[in-house]
Structure 1
Amino acid sequence: MRFVKEIPNTYCKTSLYVFNGKYIIKFEAGLLEQVFKVSEMDVTGEQEVEEMLNDMFYARVIQRFKDMAEDFGKLLED
């Protein structure tokens, strides 16, 4: 997997990789991470991948991190 770049934003650490014909977008917040894969055939390049990551998408990513943290917290309580 080849690191391409970090994508600056105000929400969370976002890194872009390329591997096996796919762009891999990795979001990190503390101990949690989310990964999305996009086929290189579905986009024209790195710029288009970045343009896909709008505020609405980041809002869903952040909500998912909150849900993940809540689920993990409950798991540790049991």
Structure 2
Amino acid sequence: MRHIKDIPNNRYKIGLYQWNNKYIIKVESGLYEQTYKIEQYEVSGPEEIETVVDDPFIEAITEKFDSMHHDFQLSLKRNEILF
């Protein structure tokens, strides 16, 4: 996987990668990460990918991270790993 660039964001570490004829947007937040893939032929280039990372997309990412954290915490408690 080839790192193309980091996409600036105040809340998350967002990296843009290229692998296997796809662009990959990787969003990291502490213990969790989300990845989004798009075929290279679907966009004109990396610059167009940056436009995808707009405020509504970041809001949706935040909701998913919150849900991931909630689900993980419930599982840890349910399995008596966390008390």
What TM-score, normalized by structure 1, do the two folds share? 0.97
Map of 1:46 onto structure 2: 46
Map of 2:5 onto structure 1: 5
| CA offsets 1:21-47 (integer angstroms, 9 cap, x no match) | 000000000110000001101000000
Q: Following superposition of structure 1 onto structure 2, how do residues 1-78 of structure 1 map, counting pairs within 5 Å? A: 1-78=1-78
Compare CA radii of gyration and give the structure with the larger one. 2
Q: How many residues align?
A: 78
Unaligned runs of 5+ in 2: 79-83
Q: Give the ranges of 4+ consecutive aligned residues of structure 1 lying more than 6 Å apart after TM superposition.
A: none
Unaligned runs of 5+ in 1: none
Q: Which has the higher contact order (CA 8 A, sep 6+)?
A: 1
Q: Percent identity?
A: 41
What TM-score, normalized by structure 2, do the two folds share? 0.91
Distance of 1:11 and 1:56 partners within structure 2: 14
